[in-house]
A and B are shown apart, each in its own frame.
Chain A
Amino acid sequence: MAILEVKSVTKSYGKGWTALSRVDFSLREGEFVFLVGSSGAGKSTLLSLITMEERPDSGKVAVAGFDSETIKNEEIPLLRRKIGVVFQDFRLLREMTAWENIAFALKVTGQPRKYIKKRVFELLSMVGLTHKAQSYPHELSGGEKQRIAVARALANNPLLLLADEPTGNLDPRATDELLELFFEINMQGTAVFMATHNTALIDLSPKRVLELENGVLVGDRSAGAAL
């Protein structure tokens, strides 16, 4: 069953700059997909359309039961609870500890305190950072920060985990560790859609690869096929 459908989507900005042009693909439940392309290819734009931060100029995006053509503003928070997002710059709150950063995602969605405590502990264990629960972001390494960000993205049990260049600020070792974590998460049933311009990542594991070039989808390589 498709949890994400992007149908003939076009998005332009200003005069004459088309970020995406008639992009068409879908993502099944539990699938792991890399989205590759150079800087400016349209990867981040595509991710912002999936989170409904923006709407396409034409075509439609359907994700987790919501549709860009019909979704109301007050429904967007409900969609966002079904999608976890991880960014290159981590986006942790500086004034909160690792524990509090993860708990924040549960607090704002109205989860009870007891559940938050249990869930945060589970997530910290999953990412291997229970010993860093009381550390602030400035006390964590790049890899640790990103793993906390992943834990936060998983807090509300999303159907789909979006990652926008998650390894962009990490060293090779941290990159490998993070990728392993994403594969583990995927094995547990969460679909993963990872945007990257690092083709070396793709070589580490043969997953489906979508290739974006100047806003156009130029390739859709199935899992296992050579790039």
Chain B
Amino acid sequence: MILGAFAIVTLNLRSTLGSLKRKVHLEFYLRDGATKADATGFIAMLETEEGVESVEFVTAEKARIEFIEEYGEDLLRGLPKNPFPPSVRVRLSQALTMGEAVTKLADKYSKESIVAELSAPNRIAYRLAKLSGISLILTVGWGIILLFAATIIITNTVRLAIAQRADSIAIMQLVGASNSFIRMPFIFEGVLHGAASGGLAWLIIWGLTEASAYILPEIVRLPILIHIAIVLLGGAFGGVGSLIALRKYLRY
């Protein structure tokens, strides 16, 4: 369940980061009156930079239309006809961390003569990128630790079951029951314990995710394959725990 919770947090962090990265761009605001022809050389230089996905010349008029689409016309009433300068909009590749690419481009191009001002992405995006990376490492790390712990718990559970049934196991061995006849019920029990635990964890995660969706409708749900994997993984490690217990505690 803890693993599933971490997985959801990581998934949502990465989704938020991804959508932020799509919206985020560098905007080099150009000096008044600069035209596309003036910016051609500047644009060409930017297009050759590593980490740059696309470079677009945004006219003053386009900037004004975009503003109205997002915020409405009211804010512009009373202002000069078009307060927006032309700009060169740089979208960054999602494969790179934004911090590196932004710093590099800002340092290199903010002092170009055609550039009046530079608008860089919000710090939040940088922090999210870092958090997303940390969350992924934690998810994987926790996952390994918890699977290990679950296996130990199931090994102990089966060990107790073996101890509890010591008398009947001894009789079975005495009268010639085959190894598989003796072992199969314990393996089955381990798999069942593991799968049931996985199923319960899935149910809790699913319930919490659905409940969270009322507050955060954009919450990203775990893919169905992950749900199935949680149950199957539980069963598999349950079986592994049983086998370890049988090898260690069931003498033949």
Give chain A's interface residues, CB within 8 Å of chain B.
51, 73-74, 76-82, 85, 91, 93-94, 104-105, 108-110, 152, 155-156
Contact = CB atoms under 8 A, between A and B. Distances in A.
A105 B179 contact: no
A156 B176 contact: yes
Contacts of A94: 167
Nearest to B180: A74
Nearest to A104: B171
Contact of B177 (A108, A152, A155): A108
B228 interface: no
B172 A108 contact: yes
Contacts of A81: 175-176
14 contacts: A74-B178, A74-B179, A77-B176, A80-B174, A80-B176, A81-B175, A81-B176, A93-B167, A93-B168, A104-B168, A105-B175, A108-B177, A109-B177, A155-B175
B135 interface: no
B214 interface: no
A141 B175 CA distance: 23
Pick the most buried of A51, A78, A105, A108: most chain B CB atoms within 10 A of its CB: A108
Nearest to B167: A93
Interface string B39-83: 000000000000000000000000000000000000000000000
A73 B252 contact: yes
Given A77-B176, A80-B176, 20 more contacts: A73-B252, A74-B178, A74-B179, A77-B173, A77-B177, A77-B178, A80-B173, A80-B175, A81-B175, A82-B176, A91-B170, A91-B171, A93-B168, A94-B167, A104-B168, A105-B175, A108-B172, A108-B176, A109-B175, A155-B175
B179 A104 contact: no
Contacts of B179: 73-74, 77
Given A73-B252, A91-B170, A93-B167, A104 B176 contact: no
A77 B183 CA distance: 13
Contacts of A78: 176
Contacts of A110: 181
Nearest to A74: B179
Interface of B: 167-168, 170-179, 181, 252
A82 B177 CA distance: 12
B174 A93 contact: no
Which 7 pairs, one residue from A and one from B, show the smallest C-beta to C-beta distance? A81-B176, A108-B177, A80-B176, A105-B175, A77-B176, A77-B178, A108-B172
Contacts of B176: 77-82, 108-109, 156
Contacts of A79: 176
Contacts of A73: 179, 252
Nearest to A79: B176
Nearest to B181: A108
Contacts of B167: 91, 93-94
B177 to A, nearest CB: 4
A152 B252 contact: no
A85 B174 contact: yes
Contacts of B172: 104, 108
A81 B179 CA distance: 13
A94 B166 CA distance: 12
A91 B174 CA distance: 10
A156 B178 CA distance: 14
Contacts of B178: 74, 77
Nearest to B178: A77
Contacts of B171: 91, 93, 104-105
A104 B252 contact: no
A109 B173 CA distance: 10
